[in-house]
Amino acid sequence: MTVHSSNNRFPNDSQLAQALGQMFSRGGLKVNGVEVLPYNVYAPGATARKYSLFVFSYGSVASSSLNGLSGVVASYDKEAGTGLAQSGAVFQLRLRRDAENKRLRNSDEAKRNKLLAYATRVAMEDAGILPLYWQKPYWAARKGFVVDPDRGESTGGAVCPAK
């Protein structure tokens, strides 16, 4: 397999891809190489499921794990809207059944939270994805100004004089 990554999306993404390629190789996987591309070229390829192994960042401003579970972990199904942010590999069949039965969208909050906790545990145990780290964005402004960044890590957050 070839490890694919962007080279300008987040800090040190190309170095991360190189390190991952070496680690996978040392772990016994046959790694043909590492290919890093500018994000505007890389992202469409990832979306088109052209890569067997790729580094991608995922974030959600939602307060539950449902978006990540249905978008990243569930099997790809364009009509159902699941697996749209993953490579198309088939995994997490137990999770897929839960999502297809819409039990994870249960309106009873206590039941939904219990099912989401179960589905998250299944996803991590099945290791269809390998969370590497959680990036923490930081912003700063000189005295007298306030930064109001959005939760999506956009650097275009409002910077305005302090009141």
pLDDT in tens, the chain (163 residues): 899 999 998 888 999 999 999 999 999 989 999 999 999 999 898 878 788 888 877 777 677 777 777 777 777 777 777 776 665 554 554 555 555 456 666 667 888 788 888 878 877 787 667 777 777 777 777 888 877 776 665 555 555 666 6
Per-residue pLDDT at 96: 55
Q: Does residue 88 share a domain with residue 39?
A: no
- Do both 126 and 74 map to the same domain? yes
Q: What is the DSSP secondary structure assignment for residue 49, as one 8-state letter?
A: T
pLDDT of residue 143: 86
Beta carbons within 8 Å of 69's beta carbon, 6+ residues apart: 95, 99, 104, 116, 119, 120, 123
Q: Is residue 34 domain-shared with residue 19, that is, in the same domain?
A: yes
Residues 8 and 39 in one domain: yes
Say whether both 126 and 66 belong to one domain.
Answer: yes
Q: Are residues 31 and 85 in the same domain?
A: no
Tell me, yes or no, whether 32 and 68 share the same domain.
no
Can you tell me the distance from the alpha carbon of 68 to that of 99, in angstroms, rounded to the nearest whole number? 12
pLDDT at 52: 81
Last residue of a domain, one of 28, 57, 86: 57
pTM of the model: 0.63
* Residue 93 amino acid letter: L
- Asked if residue 70 and residue 47 are part of one domain, the reply reads no
Residue 31, classed as helix, strand or coil, is coil
Strands 145-148 and 53-54 come out as unpaired
pLDDT at 110: 84
Do residues 71 and 128 share a domain? Answer: yes
How many structural domains does the chain have?
A: 3
Number of CB atoms found within 10 A of residue 14's CB: 17
Residues 146 and 85 in one domain: no
Alpha helices in the chain (DSSP H): 13-26, 39-47, 66-68, 93-100, 109-126
Query: Which run of H or of E encompasses 152?
Result: none
Question: Do residues 141 and 111 both lie within one domain?
Answer: no
Q: How many residues comprise the chain?
A: 163
Containing domain of residue 34, as a range?
A: 1-57
pLDDT, position 97: 56
Same domain, 15 and 49: yes
